[in-house]
A and B are shown apart, each in its own frame.
Chain A
Amino acid sequence: MHPAPSVIIFSTLSGAGFGLLVFLGLGLPVVTGWVAFGFYFIGFALAVGGLLSAVFHLKNPKNAWKSYSQWRSSWLSREGWAAVLALLAMGVYAFLQVFFAITVPPLGWIGAALSLFTVLTTSMIYAQLRTVPRWNQLPATPVMFLTTALAGGALLSANLAAAGILLVLAGAATVWHWLAGDRRFGEVGSTTRTATGLNGHVSLWEKPHTGGNYLTREMVFQIGRKHALKLRVVALALMVGLPLILVLLPMSHLTAVIAVLSYLAGVLTQRWLFFAEAEHVVGLYYGAHDRPIAA
């Protein structure tokens, strides 16, 4: 799948932002006044910044408001609702904490639950697609998104013990998603033979047109295969390795900033791989992902 920067930035930033809002909503820590303003500014900037980035992915954004209509059937619609409701609940909760030093725990719990649900809806948009076997992993795909977001939230909210545990869990979930994902295309069982219904050694002889098209650019796109293993190591080192070492050492503001930036760079790499390594079954009609001569 084509790794579109808008979508990769969206899921990285808003994942970390909603992760932070989860911890603040749970009162970990309970903050008021300027400290609260600082925390919520970071949380909302990441969450909303990510959502705005996703809008750039739309080819016809003037109809984006209509995406709130189909929450009964569509995970993308549910994501829109969850994000708005989470930001509303956490907005009121933050407003009371920042300006009146009033903490309303039940409101925070609701906001935390909605923030977590938003990350779940994002992961389900990918996990529901049978056509992309690597994404179509339950529960590995949601677990990877949720643990990654919570690890970022723990790091940003300075819950160092939780951050240590969640970083390890996020790393484990990521490795699980990669290794199980490497086998997924074979498990789903789509081949050039099932795609064409033809028997024998079936392979593409001629594409429909000499040029590329929307499908080949968007879904048959292949990049980074050569360095996939190295990038996996880079992603793990930046997302888990360095932040974990910094969390275990005595923390200063500088090392905290380095840990967060390293984590975000690691998640960006993880999400880039999430797209770049994903193979869409439509590639079988374009001579891609062909397992040569599988009788």
Chain B
Amino acid sequence: MTSLPTTVHKKLGLVIDLDTCVGCHACVTACKGWNTQNYGVPLSDQDAYGDASGTFLNRIHAFQVQPDPKLADHVPPRLAQTIHFPKSCLHCDDAPCVTVCPTGASYKRAEDGIVLVNEDACMGCGLCAWACPYGAREVDEAAGVMKKCTLCVDRIYNETLPEVDRQPACVRTCPTGARHFGDLADPDSHVSKLVAARGGMDLMPEQGTRPVNKYLPPRPKDAIQAPELTGDEDILAPFLAPVAEEPKGLLAWVDRALEKI
């Protein structure tokens, strides 16, 4: 049943430190490597040496943050920052991807809260990917089934691996220690303590998903050389107009026809 479990015994998840992540993509590679050879179908690539595209369960975005002189905690002025932003499934308590699934392929485990896809039951309709605000689910173009982070369920309980390796591949490989794995339902776990100490936060709380994974905000940088800001510093904007892409074929005809109306 794709109803959500009423109680979960554990809330296994990740705590991701935005202060420490350097955006090296090691977790992306480790994730793709492990999950291509283990749980479910491989994570395929299409046209890898041309117009490349592929399935990933973990992606690193990067954001720029310019200080806002109107925000109270940005006084005194701060320097601009770039933030590397890893994103994978947040194993939400109220996972909207699970309840929309018509086939029963998507489910949330009562024992540890991990959200999984039973690929043998997935029909590739993509509705769960539409329901996820975080872009954590991707249809594999080669296999036609939904792929998502399994929290390396085939590592964390795997007694054939050395104990040190019984954590998600992304956490095990992170060279800066920006990723932490543990039980977020247990207030005494090291991840819960981290969240409490550093003000761990939810992504898009307004979507009502109650994510298990938490993000630790970046610590404030030095403000010694920060200039006084007025809010009108964006002098390059006029020179950065987007490059238009012209449509071709039927679309071009429709475009021209509508232009003439």
Contacts and interface: CB of A to CB of B under 8 A. Distances in A.
A59 interface: yes
Interface string A62-74: 1110111110111
B100 A128 contact: yes
Interface string A277-289: 0001110011000
Interface string B120-143: 111111110111111100110101
A285 B87 contact: yes
B258 A196 contact: no
B138 A214 contact: yes
A230 B74 CA distance: 44
Interface string A167-197: 0000000000000000000001110101111
Interface in B102-129: 102-105, 120-127, 129
A88 B207 CA distance: 39
Nearest to A63: B123
Nearest to B60: A208
Interface residues of A, number: 66
Contact of B1 (A73, A128, A205, A231): A73
B258 A197 contact: no
Q: Is the interface of B mostly helix, strand, loop or mixed?
A: loop
B63 A60 contact: no
Contact of B138 (A73, A75, A80, A213): A213
A77 interface: yes
Contacts of B235: none
Nearest to B64: A205
Contacts of A75: 100
Contact of A227 (B96, B100, B138, B255): B255
A248 B121 CA distance: 51
B60 A194 contact: no
A58 B123 contact: yes
Contacts of A204: 61-64
Given A73-B3, A129-B131, A230-B258, 8 more contacts: A59-B124, A62-B123, A190-B133, A198-B217, A202-B64, A208-B59, A213-B54, A231-B258
